[in-house]
Amino acid sequence: MCGIVGYVGRASATGTNVAGDHQALDVLLEGLRRLEYRGYDSAGVAIVADGAIEFRKKSGKLANLVAEIEARPLPDSLTGIGHTRWATHGGPTDANAHPHLADDGRLAVIHNGIIENFATLKAELASKGHTFLSDTDTEVAAVLLGDIYRAIVEADAGTEAQPLSKAMQLASRRLEGAFTLLATHADQPGVVVAARRNSPLVVGLGEHENFLGSDVSGFIDYTRRALELDQDQIVTITPETVEVTDFHGAPAEGREYTVDWDAAAAEKGGYPSFMEKEINDQPEAVAQTLLGRSDSRGRLTLDELRIDPELLKSVNKIIVLACGTSAYAGQVAKYAIEHWCRIPTEVELSHEFRYRDPIVDEQTLIVSISQSGETMDTLMAVRYAREQGAKTVSICNTNGSTIPRESDAVLYTHAGPEIAVASTKAFLAQITAAYLLGLYLAQLRGNLFQGQIKDILADLAKTPAKIARILENSGQIKELARAMADTRSVLFLGRHVGYPVAMEGALKLKELAYIHAEGFAAGELKHGPIALIEEGQPVFVVVPSPRGRDSLHAKVVSNIQEVRARGANTIVIAEEGDDSVAAYAEHVFYIPETSVLLAPLLTTVPLQLFACELATAKGYDVDQPRNLAKSVTVE
Ligand code: M6R
């Protein structure tokens, strides 16, 4: 939700930037371009130039802001902040776009999050004579900050070295809710101050310049050195310094790290969309997630987990917490973890977990799954579980993000940056990482023989090449997708691990193509949803391997017949060599042979390709579907 970027660079004696030829505006627009996946309802920038704040903001995508700046150019500057918005308080209008100004237009503020006590603060500020131009909670924060700043400056007559930092500390203490705030003031060129509570913020460390971003992609073109911040911290950046304090001004330190991917990894690489690139990245995403996590004898070596093995041995229950696609990855993993480790495993949507008085104790292992590592629902659920004494492992794709930072241990997926709002490669990488965790637990607890683990790892190692084969042969599913561009409803059926795959297939179609789609457990159909089937209703069926448990395969084949008998247009994903389905299918897409538990790593891919191609055929933006944002940092 909302992308944020901040920049300060140092001017040389000749007025150019000693760090290079960077202008604040260029850095901000490039950062916003990379962060736009976080929200695209409006965009805006503010810079400090010639002792004043200059700003432009526009509703709609970043392109509208760029056009506005072309029409009304901004002056050169080495200090600025930029924002791309996912609307919460107030609709996506020009007036509600960030930045919001205060202190007679000399202070500019941008914000990600929700200020929960904004109504009380607004009333208080209004009673002091302040007026508001927007419906946003952000403007209330800006006016509060401006009010405090003015009071500091007037009271100490210029002795306070960093009045904006001081004002931000005081203002932050008055705010409730979640916020990353960035502020710049006309009287303090070369300074950007930020506050962070329960909302993402990373510092980018440069030479004679420094950066702020919602995530590292906000400054990846300029530096790969980053500084992680804690909750409730203020950071003040100037071209030469980065100062971190708590909300009371006590000095604090961030953790520096190097980003392990570069700007090229966050580009489309010749594909028409990030989504297509990321679907095609999947062999690499799975391979990278497996890399270096087992030795030549087939022993899992997850040293990075850093949880006492004795503790893991004593676990008597696992709860997987996640949302959306990540929750479907968890549902897939449940089948494998229970089968391999014999530990009861529940999968719970993070936002439901806290509110049902869950039974959690020291012997519960919480496994959170999050691509972004910033999903507020999951973060809050993890915090709650830790308070109850549970141990928490985070499966995450984003180094330095909040959920792994607040967990006892982390198992990173190495899918690389996922830019398209709808998740694809992260899903396969999450399943892979959860399988590694399951096998590791089975190894520790002696549930599987070492030879069994070695065989499963060998099977997993073959998966990237199998995914690549599906991608090479994507022509048939894409052709079908184009032919079905006018379809109004699609159902997806699966059993066992095919069930969450069916739900993920439906989610992709909803998100990308805005088509009504539902995923069902194939066995549940006859309990009601079969009433939806009418002549021509498209139904995807994910068929398990016939080499697995016979009964599972046979039951799904029966389910295909049941819907076909009622007029459904059946589209079947089956394993190569499975001749039994062809007679009941209008279309069959074959995937390479694999074991039942690993099949989701393959069966998901045609469903992703289908949704992406169909949405493209309808002329939709597959990277930035309407109403969505990549990183959901509000509850
Ligand atoms: O970053 P996270 O994995 O925590 O995000 C969870 C969901 O918001 C995310 O998977 C969402 O459902 C995507 N739109 C799926 O494509």
State the closest ligand 1 atom to the C-alpha of 508, by its place in the atom list counted from 1.
Answer: 16
**Which residue, judged by its Cα, is nearest atom 9 of ligand 1?**
324
From 353, 423, 512, mutation site for ligand 1 pocket: most ligand atoms within 8 A of C-beta: 423
Tokens of 19: 């760090």
pLDDT at 363: 95
CA dihedral 116, 122, 123, 125 (to 10 degrees): 140
Q: What is the DSSP letter of 259?
A: -
H/E element, 409: strand 409-412
* Percentage of the residues of the chain whose pLDDT score is greater than 70: 98
Distance 631 CA to ligand 1 centre (A): 7
Looking at residue 13, its pLDDT comes to: 57
Q: What is the pLDDT of residue 16?
A: 62
Nearest to 611 by CA among 419, 333, 415, 423: 423
User: Cα–Cα distance between 242 and 239 in angstroms, integer?
Assistant: 8
Query: How far, in Å, from the CA of 110 to the mean position of ligand 1?
Result: 24
pLDDT band at 629 (very low <50, low <70, confident <90, very high): confident
What CA–CA distance (Å, rounded) separates 550 from 154?
A: 80
Query: For residue 18, what pLDDT band results from cuts at 50, 70 and 90?
Result: low
Question: In DSSP terms, which residues pair with 415 in a beta bridge?
Answer: none
Which of 632, 633, 634, 635 is the pocket-test mutation for ligand 1 (most atoms within 8 Å of CB)? 632
Q: Which atom of ligand 1 is nearest to the CA of 631?
A: 1
Give yes or no for residue 15 having a pLDDT over 70: no
Q: At what angle do helices 450-472 and 600-617 cross, to 10 degrees?
A: 20
- Ligand 1 centroid vs 72 CA: distance in angstroms? 37
Give residue 14's pLDDT band: very low, low, confident or very high (50, 70, 90).
Answer: low
Ordered strands of the 409-412 beta sheet: 345-349, 317-322, 364-370, 391-396, 409-412
Give the ligand 1 atom nearest the CA of 375: 4
Q: How far apart are CA 453 and CA 324, in angstroms?
A: 29
Q: How confident is the model at residue 388 (pLDDT cuts 50, 70, 90)?
A: very high
Pocket of ligand 1 (CB under 6 A): 323-326, 370-372, 375, 378, 421-423, 511, 628, 631-632
Task: Say if CB 27 and CB 20 are below 8 A apart.
Answer: no
Burial of residue 555, with CB atoms counted within 10 A of its CB: 0-12 exposed, 13-18 middle, 19 or more buried: middle
2 is catalytic: yes
* Rounded mean pLDDT, 372-394: 95
The torsion angle over the Cα atoms of residues 356, 361, 365 and 366, rounded to 10 degrees, is 30
Residues 578 and 550: their CA atoms lie apart, in Å, by 12
CA dist 585 and 572 (Å) reads: 6
CA of residue 526 to ligand 1 center, whole Å: 30
Helix and strand numbers (H, E) in the chain are: 18, 25
- The predicted model gives 521-538 an average pLDDT of 93
Contact 111, 143 (CB under 8 A): no
pLDDT at 123: 97
Is a pLDDT exceeding 90 seen at residue 45?
yes
Query: Does residue 507 carry a pLDDT above 90?
Result: yes
Whole-prediction pTM value?
0.86
Among 368, 371, 379, the mutation site with the greatest number of ligand 1 atoms within 8 A of its Cβ is 371
Distance 482 CA to ligand 1 centre (A): 26
Residue tagged active-site, from 2, 323, 396, 612: 2
Rounded mean pLDDT of 376-390?
95
Top pLDDT among 199 and 570 is at 570
pLDDT in the model for residue 8: 96
The predicted pLDDT at position 19 comes to 64
Q: Looking at ligand 1, which residue's alpha carbon is closest to its atom 7?
A: 324
* Percentage of the chain modeled with pLDDT above 90: 84
Domains annotated on the chain, with CATH: 3-255 (3.60.20.10), 264-471 (3.40.50.10490), 473-635 (3.40.50.10490)
CA proximity to 390, closest of 417, 370, 409: 409
Residue nearest to atom 12 of ligand 1 (CA): 324
Gap between the Cα atoms of 614 and 484, Å rounded:
7
Best probe residue, ligand 1, of 214, 326, 509 (max atoms within 8 Å of C-beta): 326
Q: Is the dihedral of CA 370, 374, 376, 381 positive or negative?
A: positive
Res. 359 pLDDT band, cuts 50 70 90 = very high
Residue 455 phi, psi (nearest 5): -65, -40
pLDDT above 90 for 338? yes
Residue with the bigger pLDDT between 549 and 47: it is 47
Mutate to test the pocket of ligand 1, among 37, 274, 332, 375 (most ligand atoms within 8 A of CB): 375
DSSP 8-state secondary structure symbol assigned to residue 27: H
Q: Report how far ligand 1's centroid is from the alpha carbon of 327 (Å).
A: 8
pLDDT band at 375 (very low <50, low <70, confident <90, very high): very high
**Catalytic residue of the set 391, 454, 508, 630:** 630
Hey, what amino acid is at 270?
A: G
pLDDT for the residue 440: 96
Of 67-81, 333-347, 350-364, the one with minimum mean pLDDT is: 350-364
| Distance from the alpha carbon of residue 237 to the mean position of ligand 1, in angstroms | 31
Do residues 28 and 45 touch, judged by C-beta distance below 8 A?
Answer: yes
Q: How confident is the model at residue 12 (pLDDT cuts 50, 70, 90)?
A: low
Confidence class for position 320, pLDDT limits 50, 70, 90: very high
Q: Which atom of ligand 1 is nearest to the CA of 424?
A: 16
Nearest CA to ligand 1 atom 4: 370
**What contacts 445, CB < 8 A, 6 or more positions away?**
312, 313, 341
How remote is the CA of residue 603 from the centroid of ligand 1, in Å? 19
Q: Indicate whether 552 pLDDT > 60.
A: yes
Kindly give, in sequence order, each residue whose CB lies less than 8 Å from that of residue 508, ignoring residues fewer than 6 positions away. 422, 424, 607, 608, 610, 611, 612
The pLDDT of residue 267 is 83
Q: Nearest 10 degrees: CA dihedral of 152, 158, 159, 165?
A: 50
Q: What is the per-residue pLDDT across 156-199, written as a single tens digit (0 to 9) for each?
A: 776 778 999 999 999 999 999 989 999 999 999 999 999 999 88
Residue whose Cα lies nearest atom 13 of ligand 1: it is 422
Give me the mean pLDDT over the 243-270 stretch.
Answer: 90
Nearest CA to ligand 1 atom 14: 422
At 284 the three-state DSSP class reads helix
Q: Which of 367, 415, 362 is nearest to 390 (CA)?
A: 362
Please provide residue 540's backbone torsions phi and psi, each rounded to the nearest 5 degrees.
-80, 140
Of ligand 1's listed atoms, the one at least distance from the Cα of 422 is 16
71: pLDDT strictly greater than 80: yes
Say how many Å lie between the CA of residue 346 and the centre of ligand 1: 19
* 423 CA distance to ligand 1 middle (Å): 6
Q: Categorize the per-residue pLDDT at 380 as very low, low, confident or very high, splitting at 50, 70 and 90.
A: very high
Question: 323 catalytic, yes or no?
Answer: no
For 112-133, the pLDDT digits (tens) are: 999 999 999 999 999 999 999 9
The whole-chain average pLDDT of the chain stands at 93
User: Whose Cα sits closest to atom 8 in ligand 1?
Assistant: 324
Give the residue with greater pLDDT, 631 vs 530: 530
Q: Tell me how far apart the alpha carbons of residues 492 and 505 are, in angstroms, rounded to a whole number.
A: 7
Residue ranges of the alpha helices (H) in 354-424? 376-387, 402-405
pLDDT by residue (tens digit) across 412-443? 999 999 999 999 999 999 999 999 999 999 99
Which amino acid would we find at residue 498? Answer: G
Which ligand 1 atom lies nearest to the CA of residue 628?
14
pLDDT of amino acid 550: 63
> Which positions ≥6 away from 480 have C-beta within 8 Å?
571, 587, 610
pLDDT, one tens digit per residue, over 465-486 is 999 999 999 999 999 999 999 9
Q: Which residues pair with 318 in a beta bridge?
A: 345, 365
Residue for token digits 């045609």?
A: 606
